[in-house]
């Protein structure tokens, strides 16, 4: 499969630059896979397409102010983006840092510094900060910036780039499908008999890195940490046994559930635990545990677009996207929503 097959033209004015207020008043396109029908509504009316017994699964990860501007030992400016924490080290993406910078430091505000320990290739390094644990995160909140995607031109405050249920710190990008949920909407859905469960995928480059290979199959995902608690896995497995719909709120939830899926004599189940995933979902993949998907409208030639194309089919997704463009839907992180059932 060629990557260029998943390209499309999007008018710049349809790239959302800020969140819709209130968040659940964004547009919602509902795609029914079996009938191939498309419905247009508002997100706060999503309950009309949900039923008692449905289970919404959210990613409870929390975005950290992962972008840091600093100075090299030579005085030159640099910028690093935190990616993954590994024991006492952090994997970072560094600008203007050459391979020979090994063992040298970069200095930031509030006496924070990072020593460059190992070059990982592709602009990535393993670094060690002079502050650890809670002290590090306290300083990070003071000196770090919100790492919004490059297509968002305006500076964004961290609370705008966060879901209302964000809990576990460690992501460098938000699980944006969750942006559309408000406390008011969650209360409404709970009243209807819909259950909420939480899993965790700590988002890094894997989720938003562009595909640079000509053939889709040659693209390799970075590792991302994922977690599912035992009580959550038990609940979801029981729900599926009872033919309740498992609805992933976002592609990161879909990847987490599918990464933990295993087959038994009775069917597909998920395990609990902590691990890393490099699962790359593209057309041809057969979903094992996810029954429906709430998502945003994604970038051309992105791994996210490939995932939704695997879930619904490329033709259906591209038909939906073209209709969304005609109806002036907003795209990407702060854009409108899609519910694939």
Q: Which residue has the tokens 């996207």?
A: 321
The answer to whether residues 120 and 126 touch, using CB atoms and an 8 Å cutoff, is yes
Answer yes or no: is 151 within a domain.
no
Q: Which residues of 292-318 are buried (b: 16+ CB within 10 A; e: fewer)?
A: bbbbbbbbbbbbbbbbbbbbbebebbb
* pLDDT tens column, 110-135: 999 999 999 998 899 999 999 998 99
Q: Do both 93 and 242 map to the same domain?
A: no
Q: Which residue has the tokens 């709430």?
A: 294
Contacts of 218 (CB under 8 A, 6+ apart): none
Answer yes or no: is 94 within a domain.
yes
The pLDDT, as a whole number, for residue 154 is 79
Boundary (domain end) residue, out of 78, 111, 143: 143
- pTM value > 0.85: yes
* pLDDT tens column, 21-65: 999 999 999 999 999 999 999 999 999 999 999 999 999 999 999
The answer to whether residues 200 and 227 touch, using CB atoms and an 8 Å cutoff, is yes
| Full domain range(s) for residue 131 | 67-143
Answer yes or no: is 175 within a domain.
yes
Contacts of 36 (CB under 8 A, 6+ apart): 316
Q: Do both 233 and 318 map to the same domain?
A: yes
Percent of the chain surpassing pLDDT 70: 100
Contacts of 116 (CB under 8 A, 6+ apart): 94, 97, 101, 102, 103, 104, 105, 106, 125, 126, 127
pLDDT band at 85 (very low <50, low <70, confident <90, very high): confident
Q: Do both 163 and 138 map to the same domain?
A: no
* pLDDT tens column, 188-247: 999 999 999 999 999 987 777 889 999 999 999 988 999 999 999 999 999 999 999 999
- Between the alpha carbon of residue 8 and those of residues 86, 129, 322, the distances in Å are 37, 42, 9
Checking if the pLDDT of 148 tops 90, the result is no
Tokens read off for 173 = 């990008």
| DSSP summary character for residue 105 | E
- How many domains are contained in the chain? 2
Q: Which residue has the tokens 């945003």?
A: 296
The stretch 104-115 carries a mean pLDDT of 97
The pLDDT, as a whole number, for residue 149 is 85
CA 286, distance to chain mean position in Å, is 20
* pLDDT tens column, 266-304: 999 999 999 999 999 999 999 999 999 999 999 999 999
Q: Do both 182 and 237 map to the same domain?
A: yes
Tokens read off for 118 = 């190992």
The pLDDT, as a whole number, for residue 315 is 98
Q: Do both 325 and 221 map to the same domain?
A: yes
Assign residue 110 the CATH number of its domain. 2.40.10.240
Q: Do both 74 and 218 map to the same domain?
A: no
Q: Across all residues in the chain, what is the average pLDDT?
A: 95
Q: Do both 225 and 299 map to the same domain?
A: yes
């Amino acid at each position: 499969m060629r990557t260029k097959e998943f390209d499309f033209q999007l008018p710049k004015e349809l790239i959302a630059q800020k969140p819709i207020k209130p968040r659940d008043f964004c547009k919602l396109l509902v795609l029914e896979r079996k009938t191939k029908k498309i419905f247009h509504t508002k997100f706060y009316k999503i309950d009309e397409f949900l039923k008692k017994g449905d289970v919404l699964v959210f990613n409870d990860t929390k975005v950290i102010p992962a972008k840091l501007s600093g100075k090299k030992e030579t005085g030159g400016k640099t910028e690093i983006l935190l990616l993954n924490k590994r024991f006492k080290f952090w994997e970072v993406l560094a600008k203007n840092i050459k391979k020979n910078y090994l063992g040298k430091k970069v200095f930031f505000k509030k006496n924070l510094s990072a020593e460059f320990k190992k070059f990982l290739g592709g602009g990535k390094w393993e670094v060690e900060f002079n502050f650890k644990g809670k002290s590090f995160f306290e300083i990070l909140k003071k000196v770090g910036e919100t790492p919004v995607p490059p297509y968002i031109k305006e500076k964004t405050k961290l609370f705008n780039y966060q879901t209302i249920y964000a809990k576990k710190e460690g992501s460098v990008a938000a699980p944006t499908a969750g942006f559309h949920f408000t406390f008011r909407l969650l209360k409404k859905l709970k009243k209807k008999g819909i259950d909420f469960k939480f899993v965790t995928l700590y988002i890094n480059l894997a989720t938003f890195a562009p595909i640079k290979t000509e053939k889709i199959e040659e693209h390799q995902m970075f590792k991302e940490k994922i977690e599912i608690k035992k009580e959550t896995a038990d609940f979801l497995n029981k729900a599926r046994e009872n033919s309740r719909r498992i609805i992933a709120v976002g592609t990161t939830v879909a990847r987490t559930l599918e990464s933990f899926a295993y087959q038994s004599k009775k069917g597909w189940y998920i395990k609990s635990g902590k691990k890393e995933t490099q699962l790359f979902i593209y057309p041809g993949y057969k979903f094992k545990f996810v029954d429906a998907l709430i998502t945003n409208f994604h970038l051309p030639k992105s791994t996210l677009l490939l995932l939704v194309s695997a879930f619904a089919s490329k033709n259906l997704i591209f038909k939906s996207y073209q209709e969304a463009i005609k109806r002036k839907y907003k795209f990407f992180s702060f854009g409108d929503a899609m519910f694939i059932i």
